[in-house]
Amino acid sequence: MELLRTVTSLRALSDQTRAAGRRLALVPTMGALHDGHLALVAAARRRADVVIVSIFVNPTQFGPTEDLASYPRTLDADLAKCRDAGVDAVFAPAASELYPDGAQTTVEVRELAKPLCGASRPHFFAGVATVVTKLLAAARPHLAIFGEKDYQQLQVVRRLARDLLLDVEIVGAPIVREADGLAMSSRNVYLDAPLRGEALALVRALDAAEAAVASGERSAAALLETVRKEIGRAPHADLDYAELRDPETLGVVERVDAPAVLALAVRFPAPRAASGTVRLIDNRVLSPQSPKIGGPR
């Protein structure tokens, strides 16, 4: 497995791969790798001949009070996991490699970035869109894999790839969960045992909404009230948002008469985090059952 530090070396590997007629996949990460990331690697492995993982804690997607300084950085352990997972190369650049002196260009996906996480973190998606564009331009992969836990991010990346005419397939990979159902996240390490238990309120809220839809509830207002009540049972949970949105446009959904994504963001106090809180996100696509036509046969 190669460790690449420069865009020049990354492009050289990409050129060699393409010249040999082989398919290249990129898995962008910020490191602190867990089984969720390794599932992205496995998805890439199934679809490509050569897999590159990027490890870069992108400074432009963090706000001034967020956890850039304390974000977990575990490069040696990450490299070992990548090696064991059959990764061909890891791209781990310094910030100056992707943001050279005087850099002043950003990429903005305007409408998709406004709701949900964009409402409370207005800087976030410009940072994500910019760094992803840089990584795709540098690596020139045939496909790039992103986790569906960051559902809005996935839609933003798909949109920018279409809008900028990038010759790359953007693939979404399913959420990977802990044994108790909590979505895997590098920020889970900030939670102590009691708060870790409270964080399961996100999963219970998603389950409750899904059960309500299965029982015939279609009103978004009623479903979101169910979600808020479930989150409210966790004493330290501070609900950032709970919203039902169109899976592609992220427009507001009033009734779940077609598949709709239920997206959640909840903050918990976390003394280990620089900001003193940790923000967890999760989502589920709620799909109403098609009504049965006719009686029993």
102 and 161 in a single domain? The answer is: yes
pLDDT above 60: residue 280: yes
pLDDT above 50: residue 144: yes
202 and 130 in a single domain? The answer is: no
In degrees rounded to 5, what are phi and psi of residue 167? -85, 70
What pLDDT was estimated at residue 69? Answer: 84
By annotation, the residues acting in catalysis are: 37
21 and 150 in a single domain? The answer is: yes
15 and 74 in a single domain? The answer is: yes
pLDDT above 50: residue 292: no
Residue 217 lies in a domain: yes
Q: Could you give the CA distance from residue 27 to residue 67 in angstroms, rounded to a whole number?
A: 22
CA 136 to mean position of chain CA atoms: 17
Q: Could you give the CA distance from residue 33 to residue 81 in angstroms, rounded to a whole number?
A: 8
Residue 70 lies in a domain: yes
What pLDDT was estimated at residue 293? Answer: 38
Q: Which two tokens stand for residue 129?
A: 């869109």
Instruction: Tell me the average pLDDT across 199-208.
Output: 98
Instruction: Tell me the average pLDDT across 147-167.
Output: 98
Compute the chain's Rg from CA coordinates. Answer: 20
Residue 158 lies in a domain: yes
Residue 297 lies in a domain: no
Tell me the CATH number at 214. Answer: 3.30.1300.10
In degrees rounded to 5, what are phi and psi of residue 53? -105, 130
190 and 164 in a single domain? The answer is: no
104 and 205 in a single domain? The answer is: no
147 and 214 in a single domain? The answer is: no
Tell me the CATH number at 158. Answer: 3.40.50.620
Residue with more model confidence, 235 or 67: 235
pLDDT digits (tens, 9 = 90+) for 69-108: 888 899 999 999 999 999 999 999 999 999 999 999 999 9
Tell me the three-class secondary structure of the chain, residue by residue.
Answer: CEEECCHHHHHHHHHHHHHCCCCEEEEEECCCCCHHHHHHHHHHHHHCCEEEEEECCCHHHCCCCCCCCCCCCCHHHHHHHHHHCCCCEEECCCHHHHCCCCCCCCCCCCCCCCCCHHHHCCCHHHHHHHHHHHHHHHHCCCEEEEECCCHHHHHHHHHHHHHCCCCCEEEEECCCECCCCCECCHHHHHCCHHHHHHCCHHHHHHHHHHHHHHCCCCEHHHHHHHHHHHHHCCCCCEEEEEEEECCCCCCECCECCCCEEEEEEEEEECCCCCCCEEEEEEEEEECCCCCCCCCCC
Q: Give residue 83's identity as a one-letter amino acid code.
A: R
Which one of 118, 144, 173 terminates a domain?
173
165 and 245 in a single domain? The answer is: no
Which one of 151, 173, 195 terminates a domain?
173
Strand pairing report for 260-269 and 238-245:
antiparallel
209 and 152 in a single domain? The answer is: no
163 and 54 in a single domain? The answer is: yes
Phi and psi based region of residue 286 (left: phi greater than 0; alpha: psi -120 to 50; beta: remaining): beta
pLDDT digits (tens, 9 = 90+) for 219-276: 999 999 999 999 999 999 999 999 999 999 999 999 999 999 999 999 999 877 767 8
6 and 74 in a single domain? The answer is: yes
pLDDT above 60: residue 296: no
| pTM for this prediction | 0.93
What pLDDT was estimated at residue 290? Answer: 46
First to last CA, the chain: 60
pLDDT above 80: residue 15: yes
On average, the pLDDT of the chain sits at: 94
Among residues 219, 287, 288, which one has the least CA distance to residue 254? Answer: 219
**How many domains does the chain contain in total?**
2
What pLDDT was estimated at residue 274? Answer: 66
Furthest-apart CA pair in the chain: how many Å? 72
What pLDDT was estimated at residue 291? Answer: 45
Q: 41 Cβ partners below 8 Å, 6+ apart?
A: 27, 51, 53, 82, 85, 86, 87, 145
Which one of 173, 200, 234 terminates a domain?
173
Residue 295 lies in a domain: no
Residue 62 lies in a domain: yes
35 and 159 in a single domain? The answer is: yes
Residue 294 lies in a domain: no
Domain that holds residue 136: 2-173
Q: Which two tokens stand for residue 283?
A: 């989502």
Residue 219 lies in a domain: yes
pLDDT above 70: percentage of residues in the chain: 97
